[in-house]
Amino acid sequence: MDSTSVIIIGAGMSGISAAKTLSDAGVKDILILEATNRIGGRIRNTYFADLSVETGANWIEGVHGEEQNPIWEMAQQLGLRTFRSDYTVEAAIDESEKIHSLGEKYSKTLPPSGRNDISISTFQRLENKIPSTPLEMIVDYYSYDYEFAEPPRVTSLQNTVPLPTFDDFGDNVYFVADERGYKSLVYNLATMFLKTNSQGVIVDPRLQLGKVVTEIQYSGDGATVSTDDTSSYRADFVLVSVSIGVLQSDLIKFNPVLPKWKILALYEFDMAVYTKIFLKFPFKFWPDGDDREFFLYASKRRGYYPVWQHFEKQYPGANILMVTVTDEESRRIEQQDESTTKTEAMEVLRSMFGKDIPQATDILVPRWWSNKFFRGSFSNWPLGVNRHEFDSIKAPIKRLYFTGEHTSEHYNGYVHGAYLAEMEYKEDDHDHGCFYEDQQFWITQMPPIILGKEGAPPTSNIFMDSPGCKADGPHGAPEATSKLLQRRSKKGEGCEGGSITSKEDRDVKVIVAAASKREKGMTREQQHQPQLPRLHACFLSEFQAQTAPMGRHTNDPTVLNSSIALLQERFKQLQRVREMREGRQLQESAFRSQSCDREPPRWLFPGAAPGHHHRRHGEEHVEVQPLDASTSAGSLPRGSIAAQSSVVSNEADVDTSLHL
C-alpha cells in the first residue's frame, strides 16, 4: 500500500490551492486523487460551435475594490481574456434595488450569532414588497435567484445581503472568454508545484486522475483511502475538497461513519444548481450593444428560461445565446432530452422576438446536478444555518480535514472562496496554535458522554485555560468566542458576567457557556420561545440525531419522550462534572504537555498568508438554563433543511420581456 503524508481528494481550485500551500511550506510528500480525467472541478470549458464556452464558473466576481481579488490578480498575470459584464438596468428594476439596499441595512443590525436571521422573502414581506406580477417576479429573480441559484424564500438574508465578495473586492464582474478556459488559472497554479514536460503537460505522479474515491477509513493515527480500481493509499492526513453535494451523497463511504453532528450540518447547507444553456443560430436576430447584453423573460412561471445573454461583445459574429436557469428548473431540464429543451427555449424566444426568428441549429445543456462527481453547481447559505453549524461543516475529525468553496465563511459559492478556503484554516492555526479533534486529554476524568468521542456534537468540551490553543472545529469555540473567553479568564470574569472565585468554577462555566454560544438547529420562532431551554450543544445535537435524522422532523411520542429523558440525564451529568471538580486543581504544565502532544504538524496549514485578511463574525453571550420537568416536547428544537422545491404555476406564460 502506497503511503504519503497528506492525501488531497479533488483537484478543483480548493484542492490545488491547498496542495500548493503545503508544497510552499515544504511538504512535498502529497498525493492528489481526482475522480475525473482533468483538473479544475466545477471550472470547466468545452467547445460549442467552434468556441470555447464555460459550462461551469464563468465570471470573476468582485473586482476593482479596496482589496485585490486573488482570482483577478491571477487572471491578470496570466493574461486571461475577460470582459466586464454590464448589469446596468432600466427603471423597472430601480424598486428592487431599493429593497435590496434596505435589506443590507437591516441585515447589518442582526446579531452575529444568526439567531434572528430571516429569509430574503420574509424581509420583503416586512416591507410589503412581495413581487406578484410577472414583471416584478422576473426582476426579483434577476436580483436574487440569478445570483444565489435559489429563491429568496430559502436564502438567508443575514449571510447573503450584503455580499462580502462585493463589499471586499468591488462591484465589478468580469466574464471569462478565453480559449484556454477559466480552468487555466487552476492549471497554472498546479504547475507551480507539480512537474510538467516540455509541452507544459503535468506529468507529476503526485497528481492521479481517474481515481474515484469510494471509502475513507480514518482514525487518530491517520487514514486509508480506497478507490474504485481497488487501489489503497495510506496517509497521515486526508483533506477532502469535494463539493458539499458529493458529501451529501453516498459516493464516498466514511469509516467510521461521520459523527451525527457532522452529517446534520452537511445536510442543512444547500447545494444549488445553476445551469447555462447555449444555443447556436444561423444569424443574429436580437438587439445588441453595450446596454443590451442581457434579456429578461417575464413569465407567471418563476424561473422559466428567465435570463438571456448574447456574446456579441465576447465572440462577435458567433450568433450564440445563453439562457440561465436555476434550482428546480435546472433539475427538471437536466432530466429531459435536449430536443425538448430546445423546443421550450424556442417557444420563449418566439414570444419575445416574434415567430419569424430562425430555429436554433445546436444546443448544449450542462448537467452538474446529475453528475455524481459534483451534484450541483455551488453552495448557497440557506435560512436556518447559523455560524455554529457552518463551523461544523468545515470542522476536522481526527486526521480528516475538509475544504472547498462551501467552507469559506464569507465567499462560499465563488471561485475565490474555493481558493481562499484553506487559508481560513491557516488563519485559525496562526491565531490559536493548535488543532484537535479527540479532546479527551483536555479535561481529565470528565464523563465520556461529554467528551469528543464519535457522535459527540459541536463544542461538547471547551476549555480555554491553555493560552494559544483551542479545540478545533466542532470541539472548539469559534475564533471570536475563543478570544472572548480567554480575555474573560485572564480578567477573572465568568462567562455569565459574574465573578470567579475558583479556577474549577471558571473551568465549568467556560465549558457550558462556550458550548451554548449558538443554538443548533433552532428555527427563528423556536429561538424566541421563552420556555425553550438553552442547553449545552451536545443536548441539542443528540436530540436532533434521534428525532431529526438528516434534518427532518418526527412527531413520534416515544422518540420524543426518550429524547427528553436523555437530555435530562445529560444535564445531570454536566452538573456532576462541576461537583467532581470541587477542591481539585489542574496542573497547567501537565495539561499543556498533554494537549500539544496531540497537535497535528503545524505545516498542515501554515500561518495566514499576507495580503488576505478575512473578517470573522463576533459572538454574543447566551445564558445557559437547565432543562426541567415542565419543558414540553413541543418546545424542544428540531432540525430543518430549507425547502428547495419551487412553486411552479400552470398558468400560461405572459409574453413580456425586458431588455437590459
Strands, E, within 342-389: which ranges?
A: 362-364, 378-380
Place of cell 492528489: 32
Amino acid in position 211:
K
Amino acid in position 535:
L
For 260-319, the three-class secondary structure string (H helix, E strand, C coil) is: HHHHHHHHHCEEECEEEEEEECCCCCCCCCCCCCEEEEECCCCCCCCEEEECCCCCCCCC
Residues 6+ apart with CB under 8 A from 16: 32, 39, 186, 189, 190
Chain centroid to Cα 130, Å, comes to 28
149 known ligand binder: no
Q: Record the cell numbers describing residue 475, joined without a space.
A: 470541539
213 known ligand binder: yes
Assess whether 493 carries a catalytic annotation: no
Query: 127: alpha, beta or left, given left = phi > 0 and alpha = psi -120 to 50?
Result: alpha
Buried b / exposed e across 585-617, counting CB within 10 Å, b at 16+?
ebeeeebbeebeebebeeebbbebbeebebebb
Which whole-number Å values give the CA distances from 297 to 352, 386, 455, in the listed order?
A: 7, 35, 49
Is 103 in contact with 161 (CB distance < 8 Å)?
yes
Nearest alpha carbon to residue 518 among 164, 202, 265, 209: 265
Is 509 in contact with 623 (CB distance < 8 Å)?
no
Name the catalytic one among 61, 150, 479, 519: 61
Which whole-number Å values give the CA distances from 364 to 283, 322, 358, in the listed order?
A: 18, 9, 17
Dist CA 462 CA 465 (whole Å): 9
Annotated binding site: 14, 34-35, 213
Annotated binding site for FAD: 14, 34-35, 213
Catalytic residue IDs: 61
